[in-house]
Amino acid sequence: MAVTILQNDTSQDPLHKEKHLTSRFIALEEQYGAHNYKPLDIVVERASGVWVYDVEGRRYLDFLAAYSAVNQGHCHPRILAALLEQAQKVTLTSRAFRNDQLPLLYEELHNLTGFEMALPMNSGTEAVESALKIARKWGYTVKGIPEGQAEIIVCANNFHGRTISIISFSTEEQYRMGFGPYLSGFKVIPFGDAAALRAAITPHTAAFLVEPIQGEAGVLIPPDGYLREAAAICNENGVLFIADEIQSGLGRTGKLFACMHEGVTPDVLIIGKALAGGFYPVSAVLSSREVLGVLTPGDHGSTFGGNPLACAVARASLRVLVEENLSDRSAELGAVLLDRLRQIRNQHIREIRGRGLWVAIELDSPARPVCEALMRQGLLCKETHDNVIRLAPPLIITKEELLWACDRVQSVLEQL
């Protein structure tokens, strides 16, 4: 995929006259920005496809893809063209008025996924919050749960966002510390344990929320058959099966959605990230008319949700995923990635696991120094849960680029 990158003229910018641009930008960020992230010390200026370039002109292969938000690659020309075209027409109307892009996105989501209805939002966290509200209202108005007593079952080691309601059922202590009091109405069970799900359900259970593969936890894959059995248990008990596919969906695991590996269609599907190809925050909750039909005007909303610019970008992003066969590429190249990485012999590797182009290398030592060393080798990835390196390149990556990255991983691991 050829992409022409237009560089801004920075000759008059005093920051670009300094010899050590990276340290200058980092100092500004540290001085004026909240310290809620600990990024690697690279300052990205531009990107194209699978490659990013820092402010000093160094090139790196992106092996994180913005946590699956740029599955289509950086600055994909077709998505960029859609954004520019729409931006010259109308960008925002709010939902007080209709626009010509939202109904087309609805139709294309239906044709692609089979779900009857969609609720557009912005960030993934907003979509999860929306799904929680919908599940509760469905529980009261359709299932007949007494008002105020709805329960939602979730899994340990989950990551669905960091809002107050979501951290209320997180098992990661740092996400919770200092942010109480927490919301009630959630029940936590072990991930991958269908028997625990069955035992946790009561007449007040409205929904079961699960990531088909837990990404932030370290690309944890449940036992074979777990999703299928969990969906059957939910169906038997009149419980909504909600799949959070914000990271795992839209081609990342070698299928359009990770649930497809077990032939499961959830009652509610949450998508985001790659839905906009890295250009714009777009997310959505997909479900049946029975479920999403519980919402009436005024129940829920978002000024930016479903805006015409977002919809135009999402439509182009979906077309790229389908027409460039990115799910199939992920399956094919993911097998190559796993096979190559598993050839590495190193006493510090506990496990290498993954599905599609979504792989984790679990170490018996901290992963941060490894990620920093890989950055110096021209490869960008990020640690999670201290000792896990998460690998998730854009799905447009070539086999040659993939093997180039694997050589760097092996070289760095050999120095542990």
Question: Any idea which residues carry the catalytic annotation?
Answer: 159, 244, 273
- Tally helices (H) and strands (E) across the chain: 14, 15
Q: What CA–CA distance (Å, rounded) separates 308 from 295?
A: 22
Most distant pair of Cα atoms in the chain: their distance: 67
Is 208 in a helix, a strand, or coil?
strand
236 by Cβ neighbours in 10 Å (0-12 / 13-18 / 19+) ranks as: exposed
Which tokens hold the place of 267?
A: 């009652």
Q: Is the dihedral of CA 266, 242, 36, 189 positive or negative?
A: negative
Cβ partners under 8 Å of residue 362, min gap 6: 218, 349, 350, 351, 352, 353, 387, 388
Cα gap 135→129, rounded to integer Å: 10
Beta bridge partners of 100: none
List, in sequence order, every residue forming a beta bridge with 384; answer none if it has no partner: 388
